[in-house]
Amino acid sequence: MAELESVPFAVASNLIHRLASPDFLEFGQEYGVMEELEELKNTIESINDKLLDADNKQDQNGGVRVWIRKFKKVLHHADDFLDDLAIEFKRDKLNAAEGKEVNKVLRSISSSNQIPLDSEMPDKIKDILESFNDVLKEMKDLNLSPRLGVVKQTNLEWRETCSFVLESDIIGRDDSKKEIISLLRQSHEKEIVSVIAIVGIGGLGKTALAQLVYNDLEVKKVFETQMWVCVSDNFDVKTILKKILESITGDQVEDKLSLGNLQRKLHQKISGKKYLLVLDDIWNERHDRWAELRKYLMCGAQNSKILVTTRSDNVAKAMTASTSYPLKGLTDEESWSLLKNIAFEDDSKEVNQTLESMGKEIARKCKGVPLAVKTLGGLLRGQTEESEWKNVLRDDFWKLCEEQDSIMPILKLSYHNLSPEMRQCFAYCSLYPKDSRITKNELIQLWMAQGYLEYSAEKHRMDMEDIGNQLVKIFFMNSFFQEAECDKYGEIISFKMHDLMHDLAMLVAGNDCCYLDSKAEKVEGSPMHVSLESGAIHLLNSLDKSRLRTLILPDHCNFDEEVPVANFKYLHVLKISSYYFRKSSDSIEGLKHLKYLAVYFPLNGIPGLGKLYSLQFLPAFIVRSSQETGNAPLNELKDLNQLRGELRIESLELVGNVALESQDVNLKEKKFLKSLTLDWHNEYYDEWPRRDLGIVE
């Protein structure tokens, strides 16, 4: 299958919205470029209307994919340029309001940002407009249609989140659970450790079944130690041993530990103990690799067990499984019960006989695969028109499922039913590694930092955070997300993605989003959003510095390699370890597009932070001592008035005069903050009055 191109729906919509904003109207009047900006807006609108059809057709049309690629290049160049102008224009207005001397934005050339002089402005905008017109001309030859249809799940009500999600994963698995537990309890006198493999196609519920077994109270009594590791397609012995240790301790293990040290630590934890190890989603069919891992696991007590989930019988054979358990699909009745529960919300209500007849046929065609049933149930949720059900029943994707022996065509159908902005949000999720637990608030903040929620929030007159929460709920109801962890009020805290859904996210993201692990040898294409493991740090210098918008670096990394963070001028998101700032003299002042900054283990201050006027999310601000005075100023927070969500100010004991310094924090202008935490590491300072920081009781 050809590599798809991620379509920048939200970027295009936001650019149109920005060009019509009061700030740009004021900018256009002041610099005499109103007509040029209006023409640019109209041109982008005419292209934007047909992007949805382009996304739907690119799978079958290589010419459409090439066109999307060209459009993205032009669009992102224009977005970066106009963002530069907007930032500098706001900065000048801020300085003017404070009575500071102002050098007009266009009178001071910055070679790094290529901001033109007054006289060059119309020509620069015309160049951008000409680029869009070239794209527009090519688009006309592709026979693309204007945007059609509206997503029908927008106003879903969220009910009993956790119970609904969990129940939908366990329907029809009681007998299988009992059989697996019985196998785990069996004794094998000749083997210290025996392997049991759950085998079945993707989406059948192997992982969900393994979780039911793993969390069973009877199983917990049988085994002294339990460990869970998602392996996926990277069967690297050192990596697996590291994950096993992390599963036991709950803490991260340093990447730099040698294989020998990992072996010794593991031996200390499981030696003489009867353990259960789950190796989820195994693809390795080489017996020698399994034999290498197995020798490190032979120190447990007699009758320790390894439970494996895999799609392949060959994997079970390579791992010399004592028992291979072929997982059966749901019965037709169980499939219909699950589909009905999701599609109609309340299965106690009477269902139209015609819809029930078609629904049972749809459920039967899913061949007992729970993920397929749940996905189609979400697609049909709230649909009462018989034509909608008939369209699903007669669609060509059933034939593709047969040909590919996969439910991926069903998942793609659900993806194509998403709104344009939701498609971009879903593709961004491919930055997370498989089986990782995704923190909901962080993901929403990353979406916001990329501008994915701005247009929808304005359109629906809602806060961006509320839009983000609504999207997460819709993703859940359509099975894009699963395994919700909720708080005591039933609100989602975190979740996971099924590995097939993760495959889909990677497919639709194309080369725009890239997760680089230790196996990565090179960077494909010119990605805009990159997340790296420590073993791939050396690939940083291969990235396109003018294109990168997201850079997520590992939290445990000593940065022996050079990390040229300051060179990535257009970053919107940066997650990085404080070790970088301890070893580097780089200032991040030039990263003026940065909207999200998270620093792991923040041990000291960050040079240039106070100049990041566009910053929206700063989870923690660490007070640092001034080398000249020994005091710790708070004024780096003064102009960061776009901060949203939560802010934690730490090490306040270093501040010499809180009452004086707090005047420069300017909290009253930080109107988007929802939570503020003040932290003194010295108990003495806990008695300081909160009013010293300008906080109103």
Instruction: From 63, 448, 312, 141, select the one nearest 457 (Cα to Cα).
Output: 448
Report d(CA 213, CA 499) in Å as an integer. Answer: 20
Share of the chain above pLDDT 70, in %: 85
Q: Is the pLDDT of residue 357 over 50?
A: yes
Work out the pLDDT band at 27, boundaries 50, 70, 90: confident
Residue 115 pLDDT grade (very low, low, confident, very high; cuts 50, 70, 90):
low
Is residue 322 a contact partner of residue 188, using CB atoms and an 8 Å limit? yes
In three-state secondary structure terms, 227 is strand
List, edge to edge, every strand of the sheet that includes 529-532.
Answer: 513-516, 529-532, 550-552, 573-577, 596-600
Structure confidence by residue, pLDDT tens digits, 578-621: 777 766 666 788 899 999 999 876 555 677 888 898 999 998 88
Between 98 and 52, the more confident residue is 52
Q: What is the pLDDT of residue 347?
A: 56
Is the confidence at residue 151, as pLDDT, over 50?
A: no
pLDDT > 90: what percent of the chain? 57
Summarize the confidence of residues 137-144 as an average pLDDT.
Answer: 92
* Strand order, beta sheet including 482-486: 438-439, 492-496, 482-486
pLDDT at 373: 96
Length of the chain: 697
Range picked from 93-107, 165-179, 469-483 for highest mean pLDDT: 469-483
User: Which pLDDT belongs to residue 370?
Assistant: 94
Confidence of residue 534 (pLDDT cuts 50, 70, 90): confident
Q: Quote the CA–CA distance of 106 and 112 in Å, as a whole number.
A: 14
What would the pLDDT profile of 71-82 be if each residue is shown by its tens digit? 999 999 999 999
How high is the pLDDT of residue 2?
66
When the pLDDT of each residue in the chain is averaged and rounded to a whole number, the result is 85
pLDDT tens-digit series, residues 153-173: 444 344 444 444 444 556 778
Where b means 16+ CB within 10 Å and e means fewer, 673-696 reads eeeeebbbeeeeeeebeeebbeee
* Strand ranges of the sheet holding 323-326, from the earlier edge strand across to the other edge: 225-232, 275-282, 304-310, 193-199, 323-326
Q: What local confidence, expressed as pLDDT, does residue 98 receive?
A: 65
Q: pLDDT-based confidence at 190, cuts 50/70/90?
A: confident
Three-state DSSP class for residue 689: coil
> Which residues have C-beta within 8 Å of that of residue 668, sequence separation ≥ 6?
694
Confidence at 678, pLDDT banded by 50, 70, 90: confident
CA-nearest of 34, 81, 11 to 570 is 81
Distance CA 155, CA 668 (A): 35
> pLDDT value at position 691?
38
Q: Range with the lowest mean pLDDT among 31-40, 334-343, 643-652?
A: 643-652
What pLDDT is recorded for position 160? 42
pLDDT at 247: 94
pLDDT of amino acid 328:
93
Q: Sheet containing 673-678: give its strands across.
A: 620-622, 645-650, 673-678
State the Cα–Cα distance between residues 9 and 192, nearest whole angstrom: 56
What is the average pLDDT across 648-669? 77
Structure tokens at 358: 């078609």
The arithmetic mean of pLDDT across residues 530-536, rounded, is 88
What span, in angstroms and rounded, lies between the C-alpha atoms of 34 and 30? 9
pLDDT, one tens digit per residue, over 212-231 is: 999 999 999 999 999 999 99
Res. 512: pLDDT tops 80: yes
Instruction: Tell me, letter by letter, the H, E, C secondary structure of 389-412.
Output: HHHHHHCCHHHHHHHHCCCHHHHH
In this predicted structure, the answer to whether residue 113 has a pLDDT above a threshold of 60 is no
Contacts of 11 (CB under 8 A, 6+ apart): 75, 76, 79, 451
* Tens digit of each residue's pLDDT (9 = 90 or more) over 392-435: 999 999 999 999 999 999 999 999 999 998 999 999 999 999 98
pLDDT exceeds cutoff 60 at 519: yes
Alpha-carbon gap, residue 147 to 139, rounded angstroms: 14
Is residue 648 scored above 70 in pLDDT?
Answer: yes
Asked whether the beta carbons of 679 and 651 are under 8 A apart, the reply is yes
Q: How far is CA 563 from CA 385, 536, 583, in A?
A: 56, 12, 10
Report the pLDDT averaged over residues 301-305: 94
> Alpha helix (H) ranges present in 186-302?
206-214, 217-222, 237-249, 259-270, 287-294
Report whether pLDDT(693) > 50: no
CB atoms within 10 A of CB 68: 24
User: What angle, rounded to 10 degrees, do the helices at 22-31 and 62-97 form?
Assistant: 80
Distance, CA of 403 to CA of 633 (rounded, Å): 65
